[in-house]
Amino acid sequence: MPRYEMPIIIRCMKQPEQYIEMLKRTASRIFNQGGVIRKVENLGTDRLLPYRIRAHTVWYDRGSYFLFDFHGAPPIVKRLHSELKLDEDVIRHSIVSNDDPVTISFRKEKKICRSFIHNSMNMNYAGQQPMMVGQANPWTITAEQLNNYQRMFTGLNPTNGYLSGESARNYFMRSNLPSNVLAQIW
């Protein structure tokens, strides 16, 4: 699934609970359409807008900025646009594809993707110290672990090699992982 970023400006609200409710509503729109949210970032609440913006017959001088980073099938963009245009809390929004060229080429060339996964067991990832000869690679897994993970993945019924957001969310919720670990995953 392609990756998208959605900057969104919402009207200023008096209670933090109102922001939470609005963000949950937006997140559920993404989840209901099979999307997976990677991150929601608060870019500032009650900030002066660069210019007055008219939305839903009201002029706004101030707004709160948030950024959603998510994966979703391409039809999600059109549906999100139409739903957010009707949401009276939303002053302005935009959805931008955030796929890097490497990810796009993997999606188009399954052979490259398979080769990358197979060879990644012995790769030195950016930010790591160079590996010395004989040093154990922290990314290496055993053949038994690989088979176990592949069994788990195929048990979730992927479509074209991808899981729906709902399927992944349900799987992780059943995993009994602590909420702080789940927050890092998402």
Listed by start position, the domains of the chain span 3-97
Q: What pLDDT shows up at residue 129?
A: 46
Q: Stretch 86-112: mean pLDDT, rounded? A: 68
Q: What pLDDT shows up at residue 11?
A: 94
- Give the integer Cα–Cα distance in Å for 166 and 75: 16
φ, ψ for residue 53, nearest 5 deg: -125, 135
Q: What pLDDT shows up at residue 9?
A: 95
Q: Is the dihedral of CA 165, 9, 101, 121 positive or negative?
A: negative
Q: Stretch 171-185: mean pLDDT, rounded? A: 75
Position 178 confidence tier, pLDDT thresholds 50, 70, 90: confident
Q: Stretch 49-77: mean pLDDT, rounded? A: 92
Average pLDDT of every residue of the chain: 78
Given this structure, which CATH class describes domain 3-97? alpha beta
Residue 176 has pLDDT above 60, yes or no: yes
